[in-house]
Copies of this chain bind each other. A is one copy, B any other.
Amino acid sequence: MRLPILVVNFKAYSEAAGRRALEIARAAERAARELGASIAVAPNHVELALVAQSVEIPVYAQGADAEAPGARTAHVAIDNIKAAGASGVILNHSEAPLALNTLSRLVSRARELGLDVIVCAPDARTGLAAAALGPHAVAVEPPELIGTGRAVSRYKPEVITESVRLVSAHFPDVAVITGAGVESGDDVSAALELGTRGVLVASAVVKAGDPYAKIVELARPLARA
């Protein structure tokens, strides 16, 4: 995982489904190339292989259900993500919470397969627990700010600074990134100044009139970092 990073999560948004998934992924690829910034896209599961074989930037799965492949209908195993051509996975997003024990196994398996691993957490204390599992990064996102346009880096900066403090004290190899409500380049700059190494965004890009322009705005502070 190249840091600092911008991760664009498509969630299950209609605005990022079907053909739109490819369009937004290509916009991110173009922005990454032009800015020299590290940008990853996380399409919905159903477009994962299609996007992974269509762009050169890192493609992350939005989650996973099981550590092992096999007779598991409607499950996406870590191995399936790898086979689909993705290079990373986001785990435990607040919209897709995972049992602690499952999460622990998924992190291990994803690292064995060489995938980038981001584990989300809603607050600093839970972020510390997530970091203990050994992912590349923890993404601390207060759920009450997700999708609101009120950026965590402005409305709850203490959550970020406390997360950075706790995680760096105990598990210094784990990067802290953040998200929730991030809408502008200034929000990203503020997040970096608070000590994070990246940002997770969704609606700001997916619902933008011009996703490419929005990605450029959000990634520019990373390119300068």
As a 0/1 sequence over residues 67 to 79 of chain A, the CB contacts with chain B under 8 angstroms (1 = contact) are 0011111111101
A97 close to B (CB within 8 Å): yes
As a 0/1 sequence over residues 101 to 143 of chain A, the CB contacts with chain B under 8 angstroms (1 = contact) are 1111000100000000000011101101111111000000000
As a 0/1 sequence over residues 88 to 108 of chain A, the CB contacts with chain B under 8 angstroms (1 = contact) are 001011111111111110001
As a 0/1 sequence over residues 133 to 169 of chain A, the CB contacts with chain B under 8 angstroms (1 = contact) are 1100000000000110000000000000000000000
**Contacts of A92 on B, CB cut-off 8 Å?**
100-101
Contact present for A12 and B203 (CB under 8 Å): no
Which residues 52-70 of A have a CB within 8 angstroms of B? 53, 61-64, 66, 69-70
What would 8 A/B residue contacts be, using CB atoms closer than 8 Å? A11-B73, A13-B69, A17-B69, A18-B85, A47-B84, A71-B203, A73-B93, A108-B125
